């Protein structure tokens, strides 16, 4: 065990359900081990503005079920500059903070890695992003809840699609990652799923929609926002041009995918990762990310997590989409 006495925790970048259970685990595990735990408000902006407060066991009471993050989050351009990093370091130093836990995505990790290298301050990253697009963890915090939210919406749209015999295009989050689209599509029985990782030609999509052995009267197509054919509106327009008889509607789910009470999976994952991050700091680890690999918690180099792109789409799910939609 190292001689660290005081640590800070922050959430940064895009918020994700499960951040609160994770903060709770960091605070309580830290206090259990005799550490002082400081909460930093609004991510790296709070480090620079010295917007931090001492936390205790009760600071994190009754937050397990809350979406968002009690520490707030922000995007902070100043942290990309040397002067911002310097201010952040001075504030940490003045408060006697000897280790930092950051919960966020790859941007957050990039900042943390750089900061830790320049100022030699131990840092552990926790993957918190609904996109599930980080190397080193099978699942990121918030992905499961966001997927469940999409499935719930999809079920409701299915009712109205069926009642009116319509073709719906539903756009979900995922600029570079089709993870939400694929899982939600399989769970909600989508007729087709358009993913940034895979090219789909419009004529191929139309062929698939027509190819059911017993012709379907309603269909749902999930479009990840990063799909190369464009957004759901563009694709819907192209399909309508090819098949004017289709009654086509579009729904963009947008930011509602970020909110809501974290699922039990994300609560447990957040708790495991927060607990593991504190233990990693105490064990003298730095510039590592804690992640879930095959249902065990493992450490990966932050640098590797930032620079490596992992193909996260399950091949069997990709194969089954068209088959289960016949």
- The residue annotated as part of the active site, out of 15, 120, 131, 322, is 131
H helix runs in the chain, sequence order:
19-32, 43-49, 82-94, 106-119, 143-164, 179-188, 202-210, 232-242, 264-282, 302-307, 315-324
Nearest distance from C-beta of residue 211 to ligand ADP, angstroms:
39
Give the C-alpha separation, 314 to 216, whole Å.
Answer: 27
Nearest distance from C-beta of residue 12 to ligand ADP, angstroms:
5
Q: What is the 3-state secondary structure (H, E, C) of 54-110?
A: EECHHHHCCCCCCCCCCCCCCCCHHHHCHHHHHHHHHHHHHCCCCEEEEEECHHHHH
Distance between the two ends of the chain, CA-based, in angstroms? 58
Give the C-alpha separation, 173 to 178, whole Å.
Answer: 8
Q: Which CB sits closer to ligand ADP, 107 or 178?
A: 107
Structure tokens belonging to residue 127: 């993957």
Nearest distance from C-beta of residue 248 to ligand ADP, angstroms:
33
The residue with its CB nearest to ligand ADP is 107
> Which residues lie closer than 8 Å to 158 by C-beta, 6 or more apart?
188, 189, 218, 220
Nearest distance from C-beta of residue 183 to ligand ADP, angstroms:
20
Nearest distance from C-beta of residue 28 to ligand ADP, angstroms:
24
Q: Which CB sits closer to ligand ADP, 30 or 104?
A: 104
> Cα dist. 116→23, 53, 72, 98, 119 in Å?
20, 21, 22, 11, 5
101 is in an annotated binding site: no
Q: Which CB sits closer to ligand ADP, 103 or 282?
A: 103
255 is in an annotated binding site: yes
213 is in an annotated binding site: no
Q: For residue 223, give the H/E element and its range.
A: strand 219-224
215 is in an annotated binding site: yes
Give the C-alpha separation, 19 to 124, whole Å.
Answer: 15
218 is in an annotated binding site: yes
CA contacts within 13 A on the Cβ side of 36: 10
Instruction: Note if 176 is an active site residue.
Output: no
189 is in an annotated binding site: yes
Structure tokens belonging to residue 135: 């190397």
Q: Which CB sits closer to ligand ADP, 14 or 260?
A: 14
Contact residues: ligand ADP, CB under 6 A: 12-14, 44, 75-76, 79-80, 104-108, 110-111, 114, 129
Nearest distance from C-beta of residue 13 to ligand ADP, angstroms:
2
Radius of gyration of the chain measured on its C-alpha atoms: 22
Q: Which CB sits closer to ligand ADP, 114 or 287?
A: 114
30 is in an annotated binding site: no
Q: Which CB sits closer to ligand ADP, 13 or 99?
A: 13
Active site members: 131
Binding-site residue positions for ATP: 14, 75-76, 105-108
Q: Known binding site for Mg(2+): residues? A: 106
Instruction: List binding-site positions.
Output: 14, 24-28, 75-76, 105-108, 129-131, 158, 166, 173-175, 189-191, 215-218, 225, 249, 255-258
């Amino acid at each position: 065990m190292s001689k660290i006495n005081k640590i800070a925790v922050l959430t940064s970048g895009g918020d994700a359900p499960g951040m609160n259970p994770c903060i709770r685990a960091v605070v309580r595990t830290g206090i259990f081990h005799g550490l002082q735990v400081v909460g930093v408000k609004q991510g790296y902006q709070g480090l620079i503005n010295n917007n931090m407060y001492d936390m205790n066991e009760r600071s994190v009471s009754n937050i397990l079920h809350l979406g968002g993050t009690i520490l707030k989050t922000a995007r902070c351009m100043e942290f990309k500059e040397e002067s911002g990093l310097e201010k952040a370091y001075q504030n940490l130093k003045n408060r006697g903070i000897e280790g930092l836990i950051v919960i966020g995505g790859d941007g957050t990790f990039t900042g943390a890695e750089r900061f830790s290298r320049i100022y030699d301050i131990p840092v552990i990253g926790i993957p918190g992003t609904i996109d599930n697009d980080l190397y080193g963890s099978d699942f990121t915090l918030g992905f499961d809840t966001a997927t469940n939210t999409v499935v719930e919406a999809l079920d409701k749209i299915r009712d109205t699609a069926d009642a009116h015999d319509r073709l719906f295009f539903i756009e979900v989050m995922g600029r570079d990652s089709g993870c939400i689209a694929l899982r939600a599509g399989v769970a909600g029985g989508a007729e087709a799923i358009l993913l940034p990782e895979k090219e789909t030609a419009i004529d191929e999509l139309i062929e698939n929609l027509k190819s059911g052995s017993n012709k379907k009267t309603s269909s749902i197509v999930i479009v990840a926002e990063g799909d190369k054919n464009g957004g759901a509106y563009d694709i819907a327009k192209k399909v309508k041009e090819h098949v004017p008889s289709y009654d086509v509607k579009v729904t963009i789910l947008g930011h509602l995918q970020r909110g809501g009470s974290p699922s039990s999976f994300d609560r447990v994952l957040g708790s495991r990762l927060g607990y593991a991050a504190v233990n990693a700091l105490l064990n003298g680890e730095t510039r590592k990310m804690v992640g879930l690999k095959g249902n065990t918690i493992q450490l990966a180099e932050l640098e590797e997590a930032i620079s490596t792109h992992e193909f996260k789409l399950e091949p069997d799910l990709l194969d089954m989409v068209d088959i289960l939609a016949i």
